[in-house]
Amino acid sequence: MTAFRIFLADTEQAPSRSSATSDPRRTEGSSSSIFFPGPFPFLGKKILEARKRGGKRRRWPPPSILVPFSTSGPPLPPPLGPSPGPTSLRSGAARPLPLRGDPEALPLERTVVRLGLPSKGRMADETLSLLKNCQLSVRQVNPRQYVADMPQLSNLEVWFQRPKDIVRKLRSGDLDIGIVGFDTVSEYGQGNEDLVVVHDALEYGACRLSLAIPKYGIFENINTLHELAQMPQWTAERPLRIVTGFSYLGPKFLKEKGLDHVSFSTADGALEAAPAMGIADAIIDLVSSGTTLHENDLKEIEGGVVLESQAVFVASRRSLNIREGVLEITHEILERLEAHLRATGQVTMVANMRGNSAKEVAERILSQTSLSGLQGPTISPVYCKRDGKVVVDYYAIVICVPQKTLYKSVQQLRSIGGSGVLVSDLTYIFEEETPRWRKLLSQLGL
Ligand SMILES: Nc1ncnc2c1ncn2[C@@H]1O[C@H](COP(=O)(O)OP(=O)(O)OP(=O)(O)O)[C@@H](O)[C@H]1O
Ligand SMILES: O=P(O)(O)OC[C@H]1O[C@H](OP(=O)(O)OP(=O)(O)O)[C@H](O)[C@@H]1O
Ligand SMILES: [Mg+2]
């Protein structure tokens, strides 16, 4: 039921930057020189080396973009080309950008990095509060202004956009990085290799894209996708009618599952009403608590989950590779996100404990299941003066424990002689290097 259209796009190689010719940090060694500022000069060199090896030359737009469309619904529009950029906050007047197909299609004259954040809906507030908790507060003059900045990141513009437009604009090169639901990335990214998920679990916006059918009538005893597919009712003349806002993922999923007689229609909201109204037999929509399905007499079925989703931090591979500053800003945001999310739900406990030596105190602590900490307890002698001599009677111990086991940890600490327990929230836990950063570098061939 699903056909594919191929849009052939220009394969012109992105032009290199040729600014800052006199800067000593310029990295020479290719036909064009590229300037890599900031704390990652080695990354600049790596990019050049990768380009010299030949196989990693970045092309934009990609040679072809597959855009599927349902034979029963209207074709999806082709991906957008770069649009004329609005005047940026700091980069001066932006001139209209060339259209896709033009050799200058990569809008490199933009020097500021752009982050897209959801402008509305349930993702908007939670995204801002996550960033705030990472000490990356967004400064927005008023709520109807769609551009903002972050005082902590000097070369960054924040653009508030609808989630689907964030993904479209990442594809077109009008944004470099963004935060949206994984469902939106998958639906509007359509498998485009330029989109790279930098952080895949921001721990909010959790939901799943799922197929649901009525609990009643001919569906009463249908509980699996296989049983649904086997129903004799579905024929070429009378296919299973599914309504969904996910016109890419929906048809793709059912095609992969081998369902033949299916037709799709699309709607923007309140899809759960469609079966009762007789407009569709089933829906494919987001489910979180399941309340909306339940209230509309619908049920999920085994094998019917198309995708699990939560908020993700996503970037354009092309921007990461080519646009000055994107890699550095991505690194900083990623580090803060990872360190903050790792710290969420953990507390620091500081306590004093009598003991003969640090080792003996450590042995007592490590004998308790809830006191092992992240890598083990930190134990420091507490010096005091007695009879004119400096002595150590107490040791200060510092450990991180999960918030939910806090009280148990305090009890265990007391049982082995701990006193004066101080507990405070943790803001960040920075690891030596984040695994996601390593993964990103390897995805970029760096
Ligand atoms: N019920 C839900 N619970 C949790 N997260 C959800 C839920 N519904 C959607 N989401 C997540 O939030 C994102 C934005 O959904 P939201 O409903 O706020 O906006 P939208 O659907 O794009 O806009 P609108 O509903 O106004 O058309 C979704 O892409 C998804 O990742
Ligand atoms: O499983 P639940 O917790 O009930 O959530 C699921 C509902 O949430 C979303 O709708 P939304 O509230 O965004 O309204 P919309 O249909 O207007 O998009 C989604 O489209 C479902 O209808
Ligand atoms: Mg919605």
Atom of ligand 2 minimally distant from the CA of 270: 16
8 A C-beta contact, residue 106 and residue 298: no
Measured distance CA(70)–CA(148) in Å, rounded: 38
DSSP 309-346: E-EEEEEEHHHHHHSTTHHHHHHHHHHHHHHHHHHTTE
Q: To the nearest 10°, the Cα dihedral for 382, 384, 390, 391? A: -60
Q: Of the ligands numbered here, which is closest to the C-alpha atom of 120?
A: 1
Residues making up the chain, counted from first to last: 446
Spacing, Cα 386 to ligand 3 middle (Å): 68
Which CATH fold topology does 2-89+100-205+311-341+434-443 show? D-Maltodextrin-Binding Protein; domain 2 (3.40.190)
Given a cut of 80, whether residue 79 has pLDDT beyond it is: no
Q: Does any ligand 2 atom lie closer than 6 A to the CB of residue 288?
A: yes
Measured distance CA(376)–CA(142) in Å, rounded: 47
Q: What is the average per-residue pLDDT within 239-262?
A: 97
Q: Of the ligands numbered here, which is closest to the C-alpha atom of 289?
A: 2
8 A C-beta contact, residue 214 and residue 271: no
Q: What is the average per-residue pLDDT within 119-145?
A: 91
Average pLDDT, the chain: 80
Q: CA of 220: how far to CAs of 37, 233, 293, 297, in Å? A: 63, 14, 15, 11
User: Which neighbouring-strand residues pair with 391?
Assistant: 384
Nearest residue to 444 (alpha-carbon basis) of 322, 338, 325: 322
Q: Does any ligand 2 atom lie closer than 6 A to the CB of residue 333?
A: no
Angle made by CA atoms 67, 73, 78, in degrees to the nearest 5 = 25
Atom of ligand 2 minimally distant from the CA of 287: 1
Residue type at position 403: Q
Q: Which of 165, 286, 308 should be mutated for ligand 1, with most atoms under 8 A from CB?
A: 286
Which range of 30-39, 191-200, 413-422 scores highest in mean pLDDT? It is: 191-200
8 A C-beta contact, residue 314 and residue 322: no
CATH class in words for 207-309: alpha beta
Strand bridging mode 378-386 / 207-214? unpaired
Atom of ligand 2 minimally distant from the CA of 272: 22
Strand bridging mode 282-287 / 207-214? antiparallel
Contacts 24+ apart (CB under 8 A), 354-358: 354/393, 354/394, 354/395, 354/417, 355/394, 355/395, 355/417, 358/395
| Residue 205 confidence (pLDDT) | 97
| Unique residue bearing structure tokens 């002595």 | 391
Nearest residue to 310 (alpha-carbon basis) of 271, 341, 333: 341
Given a cut of 70, whether residue 56 has pLDDT beyond it is: no
Beta strands in 203-329 (DSSP E): 207-214, 240-244, 262-266, 282-287, 298-309, 311-316
| Residue percentage of the chain with pLDDT more than 70 | 75
| φ, ψ at 255 (rounded to 5°) | -65, -45
Measured distance CA(345)–CA(277) in Å, rounded: 45
Q: Does any ligand 2 atom lie closer than 6 A to the CB of residue 289?
A: yes
Q: Give Dmax over CA atoms of the chain in angstroms.
A: 99
Q: Express each pLDDT in 290-326 by its tens digit.
A: 999 999 999 999 999 999 999 999 999 999 999 999 9
* Confidence grade of residue 410 (pLDDT, cut at 50, 70, 90): confident
Residue of minimum CA distance from atom 10 in ligand 1: 205
Q: Of the ligands numbered here, which is closest to the C-alpha atom of 164?
A: 1
Joined together, the tokens standing for residue 47 give 């990019």
This complex has an ipTM of: 0.96
Residue ranges per domain, the chain?
A: 2-89+100-205+311-341+434-443, 207-309, 346-425
| Residue 120 confidence (pLDDT) | 87
8 A C-beta contact, residue 306 and residue 248: no
Given a cut of 80, whether residue 60 has pLDDT beyond it is: no
Mapped onto helix, strand or coil, the DSSP state of residue 259 is: coil
Burial of 194: CB neighbours in 10 Å, binned 0-12, 13-18, 19+: buried
The H-or-E segment that residue 351 falls in is strand 346-354
Q: What is the average per-residue pLDDT within 214-235?
A: 97
Nearest residue to 35 (alpha-carbon basis) of 104, 43, 27: 27
- pTM comes to 0.75
Mapped onto helix, strand or coil, the DSSP state of residue 211 is: strand
| Unique residue bearing structure tokens 């909201």 | 269
Q: Of the ligands numbered here, which is closest to the C-alpha atom of 204?
A: 1
Spacing, Cα 384 to ligand 2 middle (Å): 62
Fold agreement (2-89+100-205+311-341+434-443, 207-309): yes
Measured distance CA(15)–CA(182) in Å, rounded: 31
Joined together, the tokens standing for residue 287 give 């489910």
The H-or-E segment that residue 432 falls in is none
Measured distance CA(281)–CA(240) in Å, rounded: 6
| Residue 87 confidence (pLDDT) | 31
Joined together, the tokens standing for residue 124 give 């908007």
8 A C-beta contact, residue 171 and residue 288: no
Spacing, Cα 123 to ligand 1 middle (Å): 7
Measured distance CA(133)–CA(121) in Å, rounded: 20
Which CATH fold topology does 346-425 show? Alpha-Beta Plaits (3.30.70)
